[in-house]
Structure 1
Amino acid sequence: MFLDDIPLPRGNAAIWSSITVMLASFTYMFFSTEVKFIVQEIMFQLFLSFVTISVLKLCEFLEEYRHIPSRYKSYWKALNASLDLKKNGCGVVFSALFYYLLLECKNEDIGFLRSLAWEISLSCFCYLFLKVFRFLDPTPAEISEICEKNHFNVAHGLAWSYYIGYLKLILPNLEERIKKYQHISKNIPEYKKKWKLYILIPFSCKIHDKLEKMDSRIKFFGNLPELCVDRAGIKARSYKNSIYSIYDQKDKIHYCILEYATPLRSLFEMSNDATAAFSKEQRRQQAKLFYSTLKTILNNSVECTGYFRLIPYDDDLEEGKIDSHFLTTTILDHMQQEGMEYIVPEQTTWEESSNDSLSSEEQLMISKSDDPQPLQSMNY
């Protein structure tokens, strides 16, 4: 299905392919000329590269130098931010050592020194020319890789904020609040063994305040008891969750706790604000990364295990190409995958159903698979 479009974490294919090309190049040179000449040329080219890169980094440092008072507070921090001394220290040391050895061997050869100066000047000119005209700017793929591996994406921050500021609070208390609601309302079935919070994740990031308007087969049933927590200076901050009745094609009712992943609204608003410079395609990619990041976070959360189910879906289609009951079909598919659900007729009260809980009108739907599944594997 469309879940094949979910981006996988980036690996090291670029590094391994680069190593392969390096080995192939060295093999060609090895059979083309003497090894001594190959080593000399490789060391000379590396020397030129390190010197050129150092010059470029020093040019970048001149810009960062202006920001020492506001950004770095220290000359050394600004220099390290530009040159990345820890990462490139080996290259700088290698360049200095090789340069020293060259001078020791050729200190009387003025022609060699002039040739070396010419090569360095030419290399710096070409490299800086490419930099000035932006040929060395990172590609979109490189920027994306840097952001993903260093957790710079908008989606990464939103997912962690959603988990820490909301899901981590309400999910561990979900079962207790359900029991309170069942005790108070008397009209919600107890036979559902495991209640979960179903979280809708539309890749279009279109969040509707009323699910009933999105799909006529979805009806609001009631709110669970509020969870009140002292949070960020707010006394007894209130958190709510809603139960919905989902009608299938045979008008049977399926109950579930349902809501959108609210951070997606921020992504949608950003794409509609020119100052955010956030395109529709970027919004879609960030929504997918939000889903994959949130899934990883929740799957590694012990206190939240078994109390959630993520429902990602692609609703960013042209008008007329998406079914009017697409959302209920998607939700019911996920409910069926849970392996167990309780179905009651629309007007059956709790008192009536308790007399004949397994009558022909009320069925306990059990998964076809007889093998028990671990809760972790049931989380989507």
Structure 2
Amino acid sequence: MQVRVNPDGSFRTPRLIPQGRSNYFEYCIVALCAVLFGVVSCYYDMQYVMFCVSTMILSMVVVEIIQRLVMLVEEYFSLQSRYDNSYKKLFLCVFSSTIPTVLFVTGALIITSFTWNKQTKEAWFFNLLTMIIYVTTEYLQLKTAPIYNSIQISNPKTMDVGAGMAIGFFHGYLRILLPNNPQNDRGLKHVMEIYEAKERIKFARRALYILVPLSLHCPFRLTDMSDIMEESSSLAAIEEDRAGVKNRNYKNSVYKIKCQRPDGKEGRIYVAAEYASPLKTFKESVESDGKFALHYQQHKTDILWKFYTTIVQLVKEDPLTDGLCEFIYYADFDKRGARVDIGKVLLKRLHADIAADKKKQEEQ
């Protein structure tokens, strides 16, 4: 019922949770182009076909360059406000491209130069037709169906609402809360050690567990979504002067989960856990009648997936936060619509993480 991160960084998703989209569509387009190229080559001279294809590609590049030149002129009037009077920033913003695109265009130029003797009026007609079709396609905006937005959101290289929420959550909360600094009683592990000594308990793991429910439902207490969890006192607050607010408090809740001990008696497992707070605001935006509400409703699961994958990556790639925070992206309602006990979800994940920690120690 919950997403798991594989050792290679990929994700295993249960059926109830929509997974990230693949590049099958792009592969199919490439395969179709290859088949069409092969079929046409059977009826025309190979060099002539290569000349037509390469010049068609260059025709689209010419149209794109003209479009970017127009944008360059428009952006020039915002040189100071947007680009700090830097012509370099302006130029890179307008004319930057990906390495595969540059290689593709370079290949087309090389092929055209070697097959230039194959030019005909028919070939130039195809080029003109290609330019007209390209411009028409851009003007008609054919790729405006919601599925194209979903594909764009799923792309790990693009910036969107989900990635923005994750970046803000990381730098505005986790990056403040997690790193250890014992000199001023800062850092999650240090605060948890103080809590253990004061309460005479032991945490199952010295890490913060953050819940990412598929429904976005984030009640005030985790105990509202569990029959086996109990509230405990909170961890000591961490104070930070931030954005004009003096002594802003950052603190985490502690819960006890009922479980069966090896001797058969009932015991308690202590865990620091909470919901991902940006999801509360996102849910309110989804359910509102405000601007972009329809967009959020259509792409709720895509945005949530982007938030989860981005925040996991950010925490793992930062040595000051890696290993101090675990995220549980789970389906909080089963196929029948019944509520899933979050205490059981946490318990299952804790046992899996403890076993993984032991295995890692044995390997070392």
Same fold by TM (over 0.5)?
yes
Alpha carbons of 1:198 and 1:56: their partners in 2 closer, same or farther (altered >3 Å)? Answer: closer
- 1:68 and 1:310 map into 2 onto residues whose CA distance is 42
- 1:79 and 1:21 map into 2 onto residues whose CA distance is 35
| Aligned amino acid, residue 360 of structure 2 | P
Alpha carbons of 1:69 and 1:146: their partners in 2 closer, same or farther (altered >3 Å)? Answer: farther
1:120 Cα deviation after fit = 6.0
| Aligned amino acid, residue 129 of structure 1 | T
| Aligned amino acid, residue 201 of structure 2 | P
Instruction: Give the equivalent residue in structure 2 for 1:275.
Output: 291
Higher relative contact order (CA 8 A, sep 6+): 2
Instruction: Give the equivalent residue in structure 1 for 2:301.
Output: 284
Aligned residues: 333
- 1:215 and 1:86 map into 2 onto residues whose CA distance is 49
- 1:256 and 1:86 map into 2 onto residues whose CA distance is 45
Instruction: Give the equivalent residue in structure 1 for 2:209.
Output: 198
CA contact (8 A) 1:50 1:92 kept: no
Matched, 1:129 2:140: no
Which aligned pairs between 1:133-282 and structure 2 lie closer than 5 A?
A: 133-135=140-142, 140-141=147-148, 144-145=151-152, 148-171=155-178, 172=180, 173-185=187-199, 188-190=200-202, 192=203, 194-248=205-259, 252-273=267-288, 274-277=290-293, 278-282=295-299
- 1:315 and 1:105 map into 2 onto residues whose CA distance is 64
Instruction: Give the equivalent residue in structure 2 for 1:37.
Output: 48
| Aligned amino acid, residue 240 of structure 2 | V
CA contact (8 A) 2:152 2:158 kept: no
1:289 Cα deviation after fit = 2.2
1:48 Cα deviation after fit = 4.1
Partner SS for 1:178:
helix
> How far does the alpha carbon of each residue in 1:60-98 deviate from its partner, in whole angstroms, 9 at most, with x for none?
678768877865678997787566589888959978x97
Instruction: Give the equivalent residue in structure 2 for 1:322.
Output: 338
CA contact (8 A) 2:205 2:350 kept: no
| Aligned amino acid, residue 133 of structure 1 | L
Instruction: Give the equivalent residue in structure 2 for 1:359.
Output: none
Structure exhibiting the larger radius of gyration computed from Cα positions: 1
CA contact (8 A) 1:203 1:288 kept: no
Alpha carbons of 1:135 and 1:373: their partners in 2 closer, same or farther (altered >3 Å)? Answer: same
Matched, 1:373 2:340: no
CA contact (8 A) 2:156 2:306 kept: no
> How far does the alpha carbon of each residue in 1:189-217 deviate from its partner, in whole angstroms, 9 at most, with x for none?
24x57432221111211211123333343
Q: Which runs of 5+ in 1 are unaligned?
A: 107-111, 340-366
Alpha carbons of 1:77 and 1:125: their partners in 2 closer, same or farther (altered >3 Å)? Answer: farther
1:270 Cα deviation after fit = 1.8
* More displaced 10-residue stretch of structure 1: 125-134 or 68-77: 68-77
1:2 Cα deviation after fit = 5.2
Instruction: Give the equivalent residue in structure 2 for 1:24.
Output: 35
- 1:222 and 1:233 map into 2 onto residues whose CA distance is 29
- 2:154 and 2:307 map into 1 onto residues whose CA distance is 13
- 1:279 and 1:9 map into 2 onto residues whose CA distance is 18
| Aligned amino acid, residue 345 of structure 2 | T
Question: Structure 1 vs Structure 2: percent identity of aligned residues?
Answer: 20
| Aligned amino acid, residue 242 of structure 2 | R
CA contact (8 A) 1:217 1:328 kept: yes
> How far does the alpha carbon of each residue in 1:11-43 deviate from its partner, in whole angstroms, 9 at most, with x for none?
6x5555554444433433443332343344334
> How far does the alpha carbon of each residue in 1:282-307 deviate from its partner, in whole angstroms, 9 at most, with x for none?
22222222222222222233333443
- 1:39 and 1:313 map into 2 onto residues whose CA distance is 51
Instruction: Give the equivalent residue in structure 1 for 2:10.
Output: none
| Aligned amino acid, residue 229 of structure 1 | E
Alpha carbons of 1:242 and 1:29: their partners in 2 closer, same or farther (altered >3 Å)? Answer: same
- 1:176 and 1:266 map into 2 onto residues whose CA distance is 30
- 1:223 and 1:306 map into 2 onto residues whose CA distance is 21
1:137 Cα deviation after fit = 5.1
- 1:105 and 1:338 map into 2 onto residues whose CA distance is 65
Alpha carbons of 1:261 and 1:137: their partners in 2 closer, same or farther (altered >3 Å)? Answer: closer
Alpha carbons of 1:68 and 1:133: their partners in 2 closer, same or farther (altered >3 Å)? Answer: farther
* More displaced 10-residue stretch of structure 1: 265-274 or 125-134: 125-134
The two structures, once aligned, show a CA RMSD in angstroms of 4.4
